[in-house]
Chains A and B, each alone.
Chain A
């Protein structure tokens, strides 16, 4: 257990529905990241926050995806009008913004299945 929690762990939804995932980072970590991982591939970066500010978004993050981190604490990732191609593991990670902080601590992920 890294101290990063994600909920739910599994989500099955029908195509066209909206889904929202939550990530609770390690409490003192000011940086939070979302990644997506499909079967047989390494995780792909989606977006990252420093405190409440979203500082970078990948081109993978289409208009149907939105992420928030109100008050710089937990974060949510919402996918609107889900498509079968959205089926993947969604991983959250957190880290400290310090000169010698190189580790990103990952949560267990939320596995999304779109039917």
Chain B
């Protein structure tokens, strides 16, 4: 699975968009980009994933660059409950097991 690099921490004002970057320059053609988050004292929670195209669901949007070397997770209207550690994970398609987590980005949403 691809190595990913994320900033250690970020701050965002409540109600504003939170843009979380991730570098995955070694990602291979069949590897998806997954995002999970972990709120304090809880297990990780799936957010979104994508391969080439931008994706959107009820939680977030995922923007993947054309060369697939980086991506951005967008929380359009951050709330205090979005304060969490966000993990960007590169994962081979079809291998539905073994998520390889890094240290992630601690997003703090401030009132």
Contact = CB atoms under 8 A, between A and B. Distances in A.
Interface in A33-51: 33, 35, 40-45, 48
Contacts, number: 58
B45 A48 contact: no
A91 B104 contact: no
20 contacts: A4-B43, A33-B97, A35-B99, A35-B101, A41-B103, A43-B99, A44-B101, A45-B99, A48-B97, A91-B43, A93-B43, A102-B34, A102-B49, A103-B46, A104-B46, A106-B43, A106-B44, A108-B41, A108-B42, A108-B43
Interface of A: 2, 4, 31, 33, 35, 40-45, 48, 55-56, 91, 93, 95, 97, 101-109
Given A31-B97, A33-B97, A40-B103, 14 more contacts: A43-B44, A44-B101, A45-B98, A56-B97, A91-B44, A93-B44, A95-B96, A102-B32, A102-B96, A106-B43, A106-B44, A107-B43, A109-B42, A109-B43
